[in-house]
Chains A and B, each alone.
Chain A
Amino acid sequence: MSKKQQKSSSSKKGGTMGRWFGRFFYGGGNHLADELEEKDGDRAAAMDVEELVSPGKQILRNFLEKKLAVGALTLLVAMFIVMFIGPLMMPSYSDSYTEVTQQNIPPNMSMMSVPKELKNDIKMIDGFGSFTVGLSNAGKVYVWGPTQIGTTGIDVGQIPQEVQDARIAMVAAGIDHIVAISEEGKVYCWGNKRLGQYGTEAEAMAADGKLNPNIAYMPEILVTEGIDVSNIRKLTCGYQCSAILMNDGTLYLWGNKLTYANINTFLSISNLQDIDFTLNYVLGVNSKRESIYTGTRGLYDVVRENVSGPTTKIKDYLNGRTIESITATSSSACLLLSDGSLAFVGDFALNVKPVPALAEGEKFVQVVGGSYHYTGLTDKGNVYSWGSNVLGQTDVPGKASSGTTKLFSGAFQSYGVDEQNALTAKWGLKGYLFGTETHGADIFQRIINGGKMTMTIGAVAVIISAIIGIMIGCISGYFGGRLDILLMRVAEIFTAIPFLPLAMILSAVMGRMNLTENQRIFIIMCILGVLSWPGLARLVRGQVLVARESEYVVAAKSMGVKEVRIAFKHILPNVMSVILVNLMLSFGTCMLTESTLSYLGFGVQYPRPTWGNMLNSANNATIINTYWWQWLFTAIFLAVTTICINIVGDALRDVMDPKSSVEK
């Protein structure tokens, strides 16, 4: 090996370092390097004796000549850094995060991009799911954000012509439908209507020939006679339900009964003062404005002063004050009381941002709510957000507090509007770079965290297989004889076991036992490691067999060095480079095996992401086509990583193999 390197290095004269730096700064052109050599000619002559380049340097130099491999290595290192530093930047990430209103959203960054025409003329903004609907004072409706509804092919962004022609007075958005009321009192709905989001009984009869008992159909009167716009107190939409509350307490309520547990009690009610939807319940304020009406006893009868803390009975807490308005999020509601203070009912997650303490004499005049956050405006014009901050909903920008007189909110966004109806500030969720998956979690975050998991599993598996393989290879190669035969037979047994089926069986057997997820993952690493050592062991054995006969080993032996010490301290370092390349390639293989196992459902299981099980959902043509973002980005990351590993590994192997470099 050294002879050949001598030959190749003697063909180029000059200081190695000089050439390196030359290449580093001036690029790889040969003439530049030659120029440098000429300049340094004197020094080169002085260093003539030291022409011999160490194998490591030679390898490095040859490697740097391969542009593709260097590029791949850079990409790989970048990938590693992102995967291991990235998760540290996501304090709010959790494996089991699910969000029902954000499922299957395509990649976009438009969830907060209010259209230019609307920006200075905002009348109202509303949102519940992925998209947000806005209304200008001119009566024109705008929709932004991802407007495609799942696999239905419905696009709520296609506003019906009659709505565009009419002058709209009010809009509200549900999870997959929009309700608009024109100034003439006509009610328009569009979007998904499969689960009774809109449509009257007569329409359903005409279309299907039968009625669905789980649907509260839209009242006929809204379609035939329209509605008195000046008398509407509130128009609001829930998950798949909509409600119009009139000033005289009349309530029009329709939608999917299955989504709201207590919807039946509201269908025949009147005399409410306010109404809103959480994710599972309809909440009303009773006629005396002193309690929350849900139709279910005890549900929202106790309030707390802030998002956490002790609860008090609502009557005691109110103590004569009345409820001005109610704003509901997914699992809780905020009550704005007549004296400007707040009260909360319902459940809050742990560690949510509490309502800030206001200055003396300051009080809230308006509170709006998204899915998990509230935004409040005080009489001094200050704006505060509180609640969950998982998607950045409560990071209020400084300019929000200057001149804002009205607040609106989408599901995860808040908008401030000033006296002239112009937008002052917007904050919250901009969108998802890579979209969301079936449970509503951000795919980008899962890719980063899944990458960490995939790479960790691959690395640990490789380390395990390296330890076993190197030990057995060294022992077998150095000592030879019966031990060698025995160990090689064992290796042969291991290679005779079909890899994937056995790994699947082992992991299925593990699944029947009572193990925690972490233990399972560790066992998967071990399975991968234990099953993949024979190849490495053979390689090491072959290398050691060659090295055993070399002079330095003979020298060490004659000096009386212990055999074990010779095997591991003298021979092993000399065959290390070959081993490292092999480990790198098998790291790629382990990653692939892990993702195949997880993809088939025998590796790491759902809430914990890996690149394999993130692709698990892409198992039929419809999903592969409609929700392309759910597999494409993960696939790109996985493919790029393994391709880079293989390119680098291949290049290294070529570089280290003196035979192949001489041939070329």
Chain B
Amino acid sequence: MGKYIVKRIAYMFVVLVILSFIMFMIYSLVPSNRAYTDAMADLQAIKGSYTAEQQQERFEELYLQYQRRYGTDVENRVIRYLRWVGLYPLYDGSYNGLLQGNMGYSYQYQRPVLDVVSDPMKVTIRINIFATILALGITIPLGIHCAVKRGSRMDQAMQVGTIIGYSLPTFLISILFIWVFCSKLGWLPPSGMKTPGTNYTGWQYWKDSIYYMTLPLIVMTFCSLGGMTRYVRASMIEALSMDCIKTARAKGLREKVVIYSHAWRNALIPVVTLVVGWFLGIFSGSLVVERMFAINGMGKLMIDSLQTSDYDVVLLMQMFYVGMSLLGNLLIDIIYGLVDPRVRVSK
């Protein structure tokens, strides 16, 4: 097992490097030149006292200076990539890349990217923990129930209902729910994170933010119901048709024990894949829901940064997403071993 994990981690690292290279190359396709903009801005500030020729001279000087600082003074993209990672020295011989802790600088917010990302991530994590707990708490019992009572009216209704659930895009469900709960019924606020103009603390703050979080939470839960319930149901049905279940029943075990102890343990294996992926989603946030409800989370930051071409932020977030999903794959493999003894034996 230990050797296996080490192998997986090594592989994960290689993939991360490859992907970061691909990402960097995609970004370098963007026609933007930070050194040029900064040099221009500096020149504007000191323009008055120079003649045109001097200005030109000064600009060239500044431009070169900035290019050297940002590491864009060479055309070679591979060198630029290595500089970004921090494996190749800048013009002055120093290293200043990811490995040295330089995660980039947000032009939109005029702050280091890490600072920019930290607040939205807190918000996203807070919402997503609730959403995940809710979704799992509903879908797993529901899926098991449908599988056990297969073919019943309830099961058939759920089958149709879940198809509808996972056929609709998230934004459509959001629109529908806003229409029903905000416009028609007027129960919940359509967007925002707190009542505007208020500055509550303590209990009041929580009450207010829960009031605002309810609808996004309902939408997020609802969106995940369809796919997840079907998935749990399918793997549960698969498990219930196993021979061991027949044996367990033949032994005269109580139905509850058969279902929750024998069948569920077997059904858990495919479900784990989904659940792990989901927990990692806690950090990345939902692009659509956050935009729809004006929640300042990771997803909204991503969209905003893309729209304002704040590519340092986007690049880092993308790397973060990739890292998360690779980590997820690793976790899935390890958890597989934990819940399924066979995997452990065969490795």
Contacts and interface: CB of A to CB of B under 8 A. Distances in A.
A498 B182 contact: no
Q: Does more than half of chain B's interface fall in helix, strand or loop, or is it mixed? A: helix
B191 A500 contact: no
Nearest to B171: A599
A390 interface: no
Contact of B31 (A505, A513, A620, A624): A513
B55 interface: no
Given A493-B18, A498-B325, A625-B183, A602 B306 contact: yes
Contacts of A628: 179
A619 B291 CA distance: 9
A357 interface: no
Most chain B Cβ neighbours within 10 Å, of A505, A635, A642: A505
B168 A621 contact: no
Interface string B171-182: 110011011001
Interface in A627-652: 628, 631, 635, 638-639, 642-643, 645-647, 650
B29 A513 contact: yes
Interface stretch (B69-77, B79-87, B93-101, B316-324): B316-324
B54 to A, nearest CB: 33
A615 B175 contact: yes
A498 B191 contact: no
A596 B179 contact: no
A638 B15 CA distance: 37
Interface stretch (B103-111, B130-138, B159-167): B159-167
B297 interface: no
Nearest to B241: A663
A587 to B, nearest CB: 12
Contacts of A495: 325
B183 A512 contact: no
B280 to A, nearest CB: 10
Looking at B170, B287, B292, B329, which has the most chain A CB atoms within 10 Å of its CB? B287
B65 interface: no
B287 A500 contact: yes
B205 interface: no
A496 B329 contact: yes
A290 B164 CA distance: 68
A628 B307 CA distance: 27
A496 B15 contact: yes
B18 to A, nearest CB: 6
A152 B80 CA distance: 56
B314 interface: yes
A600 B168 contact: no
Nearest to B325: A496
A618 interface: yes
Contacts of A620: 190-191
B179 A624 contact: yes
A611 to B, nearest CB: 10
Given A498-B325, A638-B172, A505 B178 contact: no
B128 interface: no
Contact of A498 (B170, B176, B291, B321): B321
Contacts of A68: 160
Interface residues of B, number: 50
B30 interface: yes
A595 interface: yes
A149 to B, nearest CB: 19
B288 interface: yes
A643 B321 contact: no
B169 A596 contact: yes
B179 A625 contact: yes
Interface in B1-60: 11, 15, 18-19, 26-27, 29-32
Q: Which one of A601, A602, A643 has the greatest number of beta carbons of chain B within 10 Å?
A: A643
A621 B322 contact: no
Contact of B322 (A492, A498, A600, A602): A498
A508 B306 contact: yes
A501 B317 contact: yes
Given A498-B321, A619-B292, A646-B163, A504 B179 contact: no
Contacts of A631: 175
A376 interface: no
Nearest to A631: B175
Contacts of B184: 625
B309 interface: yes
Interface string A61-98: 00000001000000000000000000000000000000
B182 A635 contact: no
Contacts of B287: 500-501, 504, 600
A504 B306 contact: yes
Interface string A596-622: 100111100000000000010011110
A506 interface: yes
Interface in B274-298: 284, 287-288, 291-292
B177 to A, nearest CB: 10
A602 B317 CA distance: 17
B29 A639 contact: no
A663 B150 CA distance: 11
Nearest to B280: A498
A650 B230 CA distance: 11
B183 A497 contact: no
Contact of A650 (B29, B163, B326): B163
Contacts of A650: 163
Contacts of A639: 164, 167-168, 172
Contact of B309 (A506, A512, A513, A638): A512
B303 interface: yes
A163 B15 CA distance: 77
A504 B176 contact: no
Nearest to B18: A493
Contact of A504 (B18, B178, B191, B303): B303
A602 B19 CA distance: 22
Given A512-B309, A601-B307, 20 more contacts: A492-B329, A493-B19, A496-B326, A497-B322, A501-B318, A502-B318, A504-B302, A504-B303, A506-B26, A508-B307, A509-B26, A509-B30, A592-B167, A596-B171, A615-B172, A620-B191, A628-B179, A639-B164, A639-B172, A643-B167
5 contacts: A596-B170, A618-B175, A620-B191, A625-B184, A642-B169
3 closest A-B pairs by CB: A625-B183, A621-B190, A642-B167
Interface of B: 11, 15, 18-19, 26-27, 29-32, 151, 160, 163-164, 166-172, 175-176, 178-179, 182-184, 190-191, 241, 284, 287-288, 291-292, 302-303, 306-307, 309, 314, 317-318, 321-322, 324-326, 329
